[in-house]
Homo-oligomer: A and B are copies of this chain.
């Protein structure tokens, strides 16, 4: 029954469970199937992690090796199958994921929270570049979705890309607003920010020290 170990949190493990619900597979085949179906765009896949995750699932009793075969003199393949516990875990985990939003830490948010380290004019330039890139990505995503639709691929199969698209569009709108907010000083604090960088940008609200000549 696998006593209390640290819970598996890598979503790749969820994908493994879902694949094994369809039929027993060996790890490499799981990876190939994920690629075929484009799932590696929504779940980070790399071989190292895959084998680690499969081992962890086995330790937890969620999957078991069914057979180890060797065709010719290729490396052995270990085929795994789902246990009942694994099936239950899959359902429970997936329900959780859909039901409750989890706190995440997108890198852009980190960038924003430290943004004031750079002077406002430069930030505007950088964000403008971001806008351009976002537009490109959105166009690419939309084109992919349209092409699939034209070929008759059902939309639920690509629903995660639709979500991605919606979020990127929202980000694009937001960044455009932010740029305007900085340029027109519509946001409170931009004046302070500008002033802070205009005169060398040392110290924040305490004095002492006047070494550190803003070398860079």
Which residues of B have CB within 8 Å of A122?
Answer: 95
Q: Which of A163-203 contact B (CB under 8 A)?
A: 163-164, 166-171, 173-174, 178, 181, 187-190, 192-193, 203
The reply to whether B215 and A84 form a contact with Cβ atoms under 8 Å apart is yes
Give complex CA distance A99, B42 in Å: 23
Stretch at the interface among A50-58, A66-74, A100-108: A100-108
Which residues of B have CB within 8 Å of A2?
Answer: none
Q: How many copies of the shown chain assemble into the complex?
A: 2
Q: Chain A, interface size: which category?
A: 35 or more
- Cβ of A160 within 8 Å of any chain B Cβ, yes or no, is yes
The reply to whether A155 and B187 form a contact with Cβ atoms under 8 Å apart is yes
Q: A23-B209, A84-B215 are known; give 6 further A-B pairs, CB within 8 A.
A: A101-B168, A104-B107, A112-B160, A116-B156, A156-B190, A169-B170
List 17 A-B residue pairs with CB atoms under 8 Å apart, sorted by A's residue number. A22-B203, A42-B112, A43-B113, A44-B105, A87-B215, A94-B115, A94-B118, A95-B118, A101-B137, A113-B159, A113-B160, A115-B156, A116-B157, A156-B193, A159-B187, A166-B171, A167-B174
